[in-house]
Structure 1
Amino acid sequence: MKFLYILIRSFSIYLFAFFFFTAHCIEKVPEVSKTVEIPELGLILNYEGWLYEEFDPNADPKNYSQSKTKKPIKNDQPVKVMFYLFDSDKEKGSEIRTNINFISEAIPSKYSKATLEDYVASIGALYSNMYKDYEVLSVPQRCAFGKNKCMFVEAKFKLTNSDKSKEVHTFQWIFLKESSFYIFTGTVPENELGTKGKKIIGTIQTLSESKTN
């Protein structure tokens, strides 16, 4: 009987330890991060805190106009929208939703020798004609993610297609690889820059080299 009592007690302790350590391990298992592969650059982006949407050329353009900063881009153009990230915490009453979009643009053969600096200058001239009071806020900076060099451009402009003129802030990271430019553009209302601007920059800083590259 004494042996049976010891056996039952030992088994009970084993079960208790098993469930304790199992529960403890389950609690420590981290959540799977939201990431998207960018094979064109050999990078991975963590988009925690954002809503991911791929561009559908057949979708209603209104679904992609939440930022109201750009006209929808047709799929037959050299500019191709890869995906959108919309801020998951939209500010109440805000007409402009903070977002990040990623596009690629093939370089025409006649501009095959274009550099990052050339492209930055050309889009600056283009945006100056498209948007009211477009202003580059600092000298474009060189940066790199993994083996990819890029240019960082910060700017702002005003929207005039609403009842009241609204100021918008943009951050752009521009890459050049294999005859194409790749651009991440973060857009945020100027009055939300303090918090949302940091979120955009923090997200882009998660770019890291893909292990499969």
Structure 2
Amino acid sequence: MSVPEWLGDVPTWIGAGGAIGAAWFAYQTITSQRQQIGEQQEFIAEQTRFMGEQQQNLELERAELRAAAEDRQWAQARRIRMAHHTAWTTPDSEGNASEDDHWVVTVINDSDAPVHQVDVRFGTAYLASEVWEWNPVWGGQRAPTERMMRPVHLLGPGRGARFLSQQWSAATTHNSRPTLYFTDDSGARWALDSYGKLDEAPLDGG
């Protein structure tokens, strides 16, 4: 029995089968590659999200460490006080009080660490004319006993110093309110004015 011509010959069928097999293999290969690429993209996206989360966590930790360090700095700075900053009068030769003519500023270190380069400026141009050691436990019962150099290089925990301005007219005294400058134990410079406002200051300030 002969094969009808429209069915073709055996080689043709074998060739067609091979082509179909090759196409199916190519299709499977492409499908597999697409699946692998999709899995790789998903893995990369997951790793990117993970790295992003890790970066955010690191930034938060750094911010918390910076905030903690700033809190520690401010904690010490807030415990440095100008306990007395009053304008005083100097009695005349007959013992009569005149108008306020100078400032007396008592600085006390209430923190548990020393502060450095402690100084007081009056107004924008005047420096203290005298600096004396002051023990906070004395209160107002005793006068200072030992003169100190300005700026005070180191003021230890629980220690104090008393700064006296020059004598001026009442108007100059009123317009030359004191500002305390000091460097905390970590090296930050601070300024505390007579109204209690505390700010960081330039390292060469005061």
Q: Given the two structures, how large is their TM-score scaled by the length of structure 1?
A: 0.29
Q: Given the two structures, how large is their TM-score scaled by the length of structure 2?
A: 0.30
Larger radius of gyration: 2
Higher helix share goes to which structure? 2
